[in-house]
Chain A
Amino acid sequence: MDNNRNINDAISRRTFFKRTTAAGLLSALAVTGLNKPVQASELGAGELGTLIDLTKCDGCKNYATPLCVEACGKHNQERFPEPQKPLKKYWPQDKVEDWSNKRDLKSRLTPYNWTFVDHVKVQYNGAEQEVYVPRRCMHCDHPTCSKLCPFSAITKDQTGAVSIDDEICFGGAKCRDVCPWGIPQRQAGVGIYMEVAPDLAGGGVMYKCDMCVDLLHEGKKPACVSACPRGAISIGHKKDLRALAYKTAEEINGYVYGDKENGGTSTFYISAVPFEAIDAAIKGDKVSKKDTAPGRPGMPVNVENYLSTGKGMFFSTVIAPFAGAAAAGITAYRTLKGDKVKGAQIDLKDQREEKSDGTEIK
Chain B
Amino acid sequence: MAQKSNNPKQSKILRQSLVNRFVHWTTALSVILLIITGLGQLPLYTRYNVTKLPGAAWLGDYFITIKLHYLGALGLIFIAAFHIVYAFARREFDIFPRKGDLKESYQIIKAMLTKGQEPASDKYLAEQRVAYLFIGFSLLLLIATGLIKTLKNVPGVDLSHSLLYWNTALHNIGTGLIVFGIIGHLAAFLLKENRPLIPGMFTGFINREYVKHRHSLWYAKLLYSGEISESSLEADENLKGDGNSRSNTQTHTSI
- Bound-state CA distance A324–B76 (Å) is 9
- Bound-state CA distance A318–B153 (Å) is 13
- Bound-state CA distance A339–B3 (Å) is 8
Taking the complex as formed, is A63 at the interface, i.e. its CB lies under 8 A from any CB of chain B? Answer: no
Question: Beyond A317-B147, A324-B85, A338-B1, is A90–B80 a contact (Cβ under 8 Å)?
Answer: no
Quick check: A152 and B3 within 8 Å, CB to CB?
no
Taking the complex as formed, is B89 at the interface, i.e. its CB lies under 8 A from any CB of chain A? Answer: yes
Q: Which residue of A lies closest to B76 (CB)?
A: A320
Q: Which residue of B lies closest to A152 (CB)?
A: B168
Question: Beyond A307-B155, A314-B151, A317-B74, is A324–B82 a contact (Cβ under 8 Å)?
Answer: yes
Residues on the B chain within 8 Å of A310, using CB: 150, 153-155
Binary interface encoding of chain B residues 207-247 relative to chain A, with 1 for a CB under 8 A from any of its CBs, else 0: 00000000000000000000000000000000000000000
Taking the complex as formed, is A352 at the interface, i.e. its CB lies under 8 A from any CB of chain B? Answer: no
Residues on the B chain within 8 Å of A322, using CB: 81
Binding stretch for chain B, among A38-46, A221-229, A273-281, A327-335? A327-335
Q: Which residue of A lies closest to B1 (CB)?
A: A334
Taking the complex as formed, is A252 at the interface, i.e. its CB lies under 8 A from any CB of chain B? Answer: no
- Bound-state CA distance A309–B169 (Å) is 25
Quick check: A93 and B81 within 8 Å, CB to CB?
no
Quick check: A142 and B156 within 8 Å, CB to CB?
yes
Q: Which residue of A lies closest to B63 (CB)?
A: A306
Taking the complex as formed, is B79 at the interface, i.e. its CB lies under 8 A from any CB of chain A? Answer: yes
**Least CB distance, B85 to chain A, in whole angstroms:** 4
- Bound-state CA distance A306–B154 (Å) is 11
How many A-B contacts if CB must be within 8 Å?
A: 132
Quick check: B81 and A320 within 8 Å, CB to CB?
yes
Quick check: A329 and B147 within 8 Å, CB to CB?
no
Q: Which residue of B lies closest to A333 (CB)?
A: B89
Residues on the B chain within 8 Å of A178, using CB: 62-63
Residues on the B chain within 8 Å of A331, using CB: 1, 19, 82, 86
Quick check: B81 and A324 within 8 Å, CB to CB?
yes
Residues on the B chain within 8 Å of A325, using CB: 81-82, 84-85
Quick check: A324 and B62 within 8 Å, CB to CB?
no
The A contact surface, by secondary structure, is: helix
Binding stretch for chain B, among A97-105, A127-135, A169-177? A169-177
Binary interface encoding of chain B residues 65-96 relative to chain A, with 1 for a CB under 8 A from any of its CBs, else 0: 01100100110011111111110011000000
Taking the complex as formed, is B49 at the interface, i.e. its CB lies under 8 A from any CB of chain A? Answer: yes
Residues on the B chain within 8 Å of A156, using CB: 158
Q: Which residue of B lies closest to A93 (CB)?
A: B47
Q: Which residue of A lies closest to B62 (CB)?
A: A178
Binary interface encoding of chain A residues 175-189 relative to chain B, with 1 for a CB under 8 A from any of its CBs, else 0: 001100000000000
- Bound-state CA distance A142–B152 (Å) is 10
- Bound-state CA distance A93–B49 (Å) is 8
Question: Beyond A328-B89, A335-B1, is A148–B78 a contact (Cβ under 8 Å)?
Answer: no
Q: Count of B residues near A, CB < 8 Å?
A: 47
Residues on the B chain within 8 Å of A294, using CB: none
Taking the complex as formed, is A323 at the interface, i.e. its CB lies under 8 A from any CB of chain B? Answer: yes
Residues on the B chain within 8 Å of A306, using CB: 62-63
- Bound-state CA distance A150–B43 (Å) is 9
Residues on the A chain within 8 Å of B84, using CB: 325, 328
Question: Beyond A150-B41, A174-B62, is A323–B48 a contact (Cβ under 8 Å)?
Answer: no
Residues on the B chain within 8 Å of A332, using CB: 85-86, 89-90
- B139-191 contacts to A (CB < 8 Å): 146-147, 150-156, 158, 161, 164-165, 167-169, 172
Q: Which residue of A lies closest to B17 (CB)?
A: A335
- Bound-state CA distance A307–B158 (Å) is 14
Determine which residue in A316, A317, A325, A335 has the highest number of CB atoms from chain B within 10 A of its CB, and name it: A317
Residues on the A chain within 8 Å of B168, using CB: 150-152
Quick check: A317 and B82 within 8 Å, CB to CB?
no
**Least CB distance, A6 to chain B, in whole angstroms:** 15
Q: Count of A residues near B, CB < 8 Å?
A: 50
**Least CB distance, B7 to chain A, in whole angstroms:** 13
**Least CB distance, A1 to chain B, in whole angstroms:** 13
Taking the complex as formed, is A355 at the interface, i.e. its CB lies under 8 A from any CB of chain B? Answer: no
Quick check: B80 and A324 within 8 Å, CB to CB?
yes
Q: Which residue of B lies closest to A308 (CB)?
A: B155
Quick check: B153 and A313 within 8 Å, CB to CB?
yes
Taking the complex as formed, is A358 at the interface, i.e. its CB lies under 8 A from any CB of chain B? Answer: no
Q: Which residue of A lies closest to B150 (CB)?
A: A314
- Bound-state CA distance A307–B62 (Å) is 11
Residues on the A chain within 8 Å of B77, using CB: 317, 320-321, 324
- Bound-state CA distance A156–B167 (Å) is 17
Residues on the A chain within 8 Å of B147, using CB: 317-318
Q: Which residue of A lies closest to B155 (CB)?
A: A142
27 examples of A-B residue contacts, CB within 8 angstroms: A92-B48, A141-B155, A148-B66, A148-B153, A151-B168, A156-B158, A168-B165, A174-B62, A177-B43, A178-B63, A306-B62, A309-B67, A310-B155, A311-B155, A313-B70, A317-B70, A317-B77, A324-B80, A324-B81, A325-B85, A327-B82, A328-B83, A328-B89, A331-B19, A333-B89, A335-B19, A338-B2
Interface residues of chain A, those whose CB is within 8 Å of chain B, are: 90, 92-93, 141-142, 147-148, 150-152, 155-156, 168, 172-174, 177-178, 203, 263, 305-311, 313-314, 316-318, 320-325, 327-329, 331-336, 338-339, 342
Beyond contacts A317-B146, A334-B1: 16 other A-B pairs, Cβ-Cβ < 8 A, are: A93-B47, A141-B156, A148-B62, A152-B169, A172-B42, A174-B62, A306-B62, A313-B150, A325-B81, A325-B85, A327-B82, A328-B89, A329-B89, A331-B19, A338-B1, A338-B3
